[in-house]
Amino acid sequence: MIVLPVLFTSLLLADPVADTDFLRFENGDTLHGTYLGIDEGPLLQWQSPEATDTIAFEVDQIRKLMLMEGQGRQPISSGGTVELVNGDVLPGSIISVGEDSVSLQTDYAGLLTIPRDAVSSLAPNLPGGPPLYAGPFNSERWQILPEPDASEDEEEADWALAGGAWYSSAQSESPLCLDARLADQVSIRFRVAWKKNLNLIVALHADFKAPLDKEDEEQAELEWSNLLEEGGGGDYPRTYGSAYVLAIHQNFTRLTRSFYTEDGQGKNESFRNNKGGNLRLSQVDEVTFEIRSDREKGSLSLFADGQLITEWEGLTDEHASGSWLAFDAINQSRLRISDIVISPWNGMPDSARSMVSEERDIVLLNNGTDRLSGTLLNLEEDMFLLETDYTNFQIPAPDIEVIHFATDSLRADEPPLSRDESCLVHMRPRGKITFAPHSGRQMRLDGNHPILGGMRLDLNYAFLLEFDPEATIFDNWDENF
């Protein structure tokens, strides 16, 4: 049953994109159509292909609004970000930093002047440089590995893409594969949410190749392997071919190398971790992981929410030389995978990424090892001036990965806006903004930010509006989001 509209009007708006937007209501109902804007109330204006007039819904009836099939219309051009004390991440170009404010030039809201005591950190550059992949906004370059015994008429897919995230089904047994074009030195970041238990397989540098019949020249010439065409099996070599296979559970991790010997026998080789290895995720149900792989040095590290969890060294690179990435939900685990960013990595360790101090600003350089602490004075002509106990440093903005401001200098966390006041606007490819909308037409949205006050957002750069972010984990995870 579709939620009943509260108001019908007739509006003529220029050139809407038909039926590419999607609503999910609080009661679980869904509706495809075209988002037209927001009126005072606030009331969301909607055009449905089944209705001749515009329909208006009260926003407190709505859980999510997905724009352009979860792709948005265009990505943000800048790789810099400013993170606020309330958790918002504002993408843009950092053009000045002063004693009282930070200036951010954005594609979606023009020039923003942000109180400095509301900024917890800033990153002038996208970590690792331009990404090899950021998404998922569509299914391009993705494949779902078929089950070996799956019939062609099976209706339920093991993975479904909706709202910038992949969702596994309750009976998922098929890996989700990305043509990631992984480099030898690479950083893979992704966010995982789960129901009940976390049981995740991540296969990287996979080639999905099984031993080929040397007498079958046509098969030997195939760029695609028979594993991707026919489906994998119950063991790692049969599923991923040659790969590093990282198993992530709530309390432990395990790294295995899968490969085939010259005589065609599938083998698994486990590695002992050199540091850590224990996860303690029983109190959470959503984590951002980062995997850093250096095939040249034979090392692999795993981070969870910025903290180093474990690392392996002495990995052989004789195998696991493919360019593919795969995710697999095992043991009937229900997973949602989003915010995937794959970027080059310089291979340097990074022990200071999550370091913060009560009294000092911490500057982490792009070389991954050097860090400086002191007081950040300003940014002028693309140079940051840092005052330290020893001398003042002028640091070019391109050399900086992230700056964490001293926690004692920050205002208290902003109280969240009430449920009926705000939504969370997700930007492409990264960024999230707390926003209380009150009016707007098509891709223009006027409203208020809890820290920045009145703003106008250009929704051409957004792909998802969550009117009830707290309900995210408890959604019915299906193809309709």
- Residue 95 belongs to domain with CATH number: 2.30.30.100
307 and 359 part of one domain: no
The number of distinct structural domains making up the chain is 3
The larger pLDDT score, comparing residue 47 to residue 353, is at 47
57 and 205 part of one domain: no
Q: Determine, yes or no, domain membership for 375.
A: yes
329 and 369 part of one domain: no
- Separation between Cα atoms, residue 302 and residue 128, nearest integer Å: 16
Per-residue pLDDT, 94 = 94
Per-residue pLDDT, 11 = 34
Tell me: pLDDT of 178 over 60.
yes
Last residue of a domain, one of 344, 368, 401: 344
290 and 241 part of one domain: yes
pTM of the model: 0.72
Determine which of 17-31, 162-176, 189-203, 412-426 has the lowest per-residue pLDDT on average. Answer: 412-426
Per-residue pLDDT, 224 = 38
185 and 253 part of one domain: yes
Last residue of a domain, one of 344, 378, 393: 344
Which of 297-306, 346-355, 448-457, 471-480 shows the highest mean pLDDT?
448-457
Q: What is the CA radius of gyration of the chain?
A: 24
Last residue of a domain, one of 344, 359, 382: 344
241 and 319 part of one domain: yes
The larger pLDDT score, comparing residue 210 to residue 261, is at 261
Say which amino acid occupies 477. Answer: W
Which of 144-148, 149-153, 357-361, 375-379 shows the highest mean pLDDT?
375-379
Structure-block tokens of residue 142: 């993705």
228 and 328 part of one domain: yes
Q: Determine, yes or no, domain membership for 457.
A: yes
Per-residue pLDDT, 229 = 45
Structure-block tokens of residue 425: 């606007």
Q: Determine, yes or no, domain membership for 420.
A: no
Distances (CA, A) of 142 to 132, 344, 476: 14, 20, 23
277 and 329 part of one domain: yes
Q: What is the CATH number of the domain that holds 211?
A: 2.60.120.560
The larger pLDDT score, comparing residue 5 to residue 160, is at 160
The larger pLDDT score, comparing residue 387 to residue 227, is at 387
Tell me: pLDDT of 348 over 70.
no
Helix (H) or strand (E) holding 218: helix 217-220
Tell me: pLDDT of 375 over 90.
yes
443 and 356 part of one domain: no
- Which residues, other chains included, contact 229 with Cβ-Cβ below 8 Å and sequence gap of 6+? none
Per-residue pLDDT, 274 = 61
Q: Determine, yes or no, domain membership for 418.
A: no
Q: Determine, yes or no, domain membership for 196.
A: yes
Mean pLDDT of 421-431: 85
Map residue 187 onto helix, strand or coil.
strand
Q: Determine, yes or no, domain membership for 415.
A: no
Q: Determine, yes or no, domain membership for 414.
A: no
Tell me: pLDDT of 106 over 90.
yes
Per-residue pLDDT, 202 = 95
Q: Determine, yes or no, domain membership for 72.
A: no
Percent of the chain with pLDDT over 70: 78
Q: What number of residues does the chain have?
A: 481
368: confidence class by pLDDT, cuts 50, 70, 90: low
- Full residue range of the structural domain in which residue 445 is found: 7-66+431-474
Residue 116's φ and ψ, nearest 5 degrees, are: -65, -35
163 and 261 part of one domain: yes
196 and 233 part of one domain: yes
pLDDT digits (tens, 9 = 90+) for 250-299: 888 889 888 888 777 888 888 877 665 567 776 678 888 999 998 888 88
176 and 325 part of one domain: yes
Say which amino acid occupies 324. Answer: W
